Amino acid sequence: MPIAITNPKLLGLEPRWAPFRGFSLLFDPPADDTWLRALCAGVAELEDDALIAEHAFRLLPLPSYHVTVWDGVNDGKLAEVAPEWRAAWARFLQSIPTKTFPDDLFREVRAAEVLACPDWDLRLRGARIENWSNVSLVAHLEPVDAAAAERLARLQAARNALSAAFAARFGVRPHPDYVPHVTLGYFANAELAATSAPSVARWNAALREKTAGLVLPLRRVHLSAFTDMTSFGADAP
C-alpha cells in the first residue's frame, strides 16, 4: 500500500520537497565546522537505517544544515499576518528567491540586536537527537558551559524583543521558546513516525558518539530567504 504523505513539507518519498517560501534569521556557517562535519559523517553512515526504510524519514541535503535563530513570515504563517499587511508580505514571498528585503517590511528586523550584534560568541554542543512531534528529526544543541548559557539567555531576550516589535506591527509572532537545533530531515508520514522511537534512539547514540567532545561555535547572524526546506544555506555569507 502506498505511504500517505502527511507532512506539508514533502510532496513525495523520493524525496520531493514541497514549495515553502519564507525568511528566517540564521547563524552564519561556522568558521570551525568540525562538529558539523562530524554530524554529517555520522548521518551519512545511517542512510540505510530502518528510520529511513521503515518510518518514512527523509534526510535533508547535508549542505542545507543550519541553526535558525528566529523565524519570520513564511507560507505557513501568511494567514496570521495583519490584514493590512498581508498583500505586501504575499508579494515578498512570491519574489523569493530574492536578495532584496524591502525597508518597509524589514525595519524591525534590521534594527534588532539579534541581527546587529557583531559576535554572539555562542559555543554549543550536541545534546540529543529528537523526534519533534512526528514531523522532523533534529539535533538538539545546548551550551557548553555557564558562560555560553548566559550568552544564550541574552540571545533569547533579544529574540523576544524582536518578536514583540514584529508582532506589534504585523500581527505574526514566532514560537516563544527557542531551542537551538539542526534539522536533519522530515518524516513523510506521522503514523509511521510515531513508531520510530527505537530507531531514533539508535541515531541518538550513533550521532552523540560521533560528535562527543566537539563544539559548534556560532557568531554572526544573517537574513535568509528560502523556497523550500532544502534551500537553506544558499545565501549564507
Each residue of 127-175: pLDDT tens digit? 999 999 999 999 999 999 999 999 999 999 999 999 999 999 999 988 8
pLDDT at 232: 85
- Rounded Cα distance between 20 and 125, Å, is 29
> What is the chain's mean pLDDT, rounded?
95
Reported for 33-38, long-range contacts at CB under 8 A and 24+ positions apart, including other chains, are 34/214, 34/215, 35/125, 35/126, 35/211, 35/214, 35/215, 35/216, 36/65, 36/182, 36/216, 38/210, 38/211, 38/214
| pTM for this entry | 0.95
CATH of domain 18-226: 3.90.1140.10
How confident is the prediction along the chain (237 residues), in pLDDT tens digits per residue? 689 999 999 999 999 999 999 999 999 999 999 999 999 999 999 988 899 989 999 999 999 999 999 999 999 999 999 999 999 999 999 999 988 999 999 999 999 999 999 999 999 999 999 999 999 999 999 999 999 999 999 999 999 999 999 999 999 988 888 999 999 999 999 999 999 999 999 999 999 999 999 999 999 999 999 999 999 866 666
pLDDT given for residue 158 in this prediction: 98
